[in-house]
């Protein structure tokens, strides 16, 4: 894997655990000599992820819409920063620059990104793995929902299996790198 797209919150979450997680994941990915593609922000988990990867001599590529740059949330110290017009363009470019997708805790924007990338694989538009880092059980309710969607016939079990879920960052990154 050459580049991994990481979706995560633009907020820090409550407590120190989420920021520490983003820092740890950024460092871990950089140490695996894999570039990070992410939303280009300097705040929240996004900023912690990028700063940690950069501190570990990693390559970090940000993709951010102009409207967020105008709100002064863009990260100015990245390896590359692509400024696009829309959120849709952001997701498309992030996907094209990446070999897989990793989702850390976040809110609705993070969920939008996860579901779109995962859907691209379900539709055969790409063949890239998607993974969910279920830190501290954060995504337990989502995993229950997805399993229920399979039980009720709204999601194929094969497609459900294409979303890797683990609570261990090292193990999940190894799974992403061997997906296929």
The total number of structural domains in the chain stands at 1
Q: Could you tell me the CATH number of the domain that includes residue 123?
A: 3.40.50.450
- Over 90: is that where the pLDDT of 73 sits? no
Percent of residues, the chain, with pLDDT higher than 90 = 92
Amino acid 50: pLDDT: 98
Alpha-carbon distance of 71 to 54, in angstroms, equals 23
Q: List the domain range (segments joined by +) for residue 59.
A: 3-177
24 vs 179, higher pLDDT: 24
Q: Which residues in 154-177 are b (16+ Cβ under 10 Å) and which e? A: ebeeebbebbbbbeebeebbebbe
CA angle in degrees (0–180, nearest 5) for 24-9-100 = 70
Q: What three-state secondary structure class fits 139?
A: coil
pLDDT-derived band at 179 (thresholds 50, 70, 90) equals low
Q: How confident is the model over 86-140, as pLDDT tens digits?
A: 999 999 999 999 999 999 999 999 999 999 999 999 999 999 999 999 999 999 9
């Amino acid at each position: 894997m050459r580049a991994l797209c990481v979706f995560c919150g633009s907020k820090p979450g409550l407590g120190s655990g989420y920021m520490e997680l983003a820092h740890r994941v950024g460092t871990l990915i950089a140490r695996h000599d894999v570039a990070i593609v992410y939303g280009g922000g300097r705040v929240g988990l996004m900023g912690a992820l990028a700063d940690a990867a950069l501190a570990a001599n990693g390559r970090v590529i940000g993709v951010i819409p102009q409207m967020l740059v105008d709100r002064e949330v863009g990260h100015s110290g990245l390896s590359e920063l692509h400024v696009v017009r829309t959120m849709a363009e952001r997701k498309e470019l992030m996907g094209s620059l990446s070999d897989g997708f990793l989702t850390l805790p976040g809110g609705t924007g993070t969920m939008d990104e996860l579901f779109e990338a995962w859907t691209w694989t379900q539709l055969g538009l790409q063949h890239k793995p998607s993974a969910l880092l279920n830190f501290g059980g954060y995504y337990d309710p989502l995993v229950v929902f997805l399993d229920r969607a399979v039980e009720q016939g709204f999601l194929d079990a094969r497609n459900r299996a294409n979303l890797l879920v683990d609570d261990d960052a090292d193990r999940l990154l190894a799974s992403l790198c061997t997906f296929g």
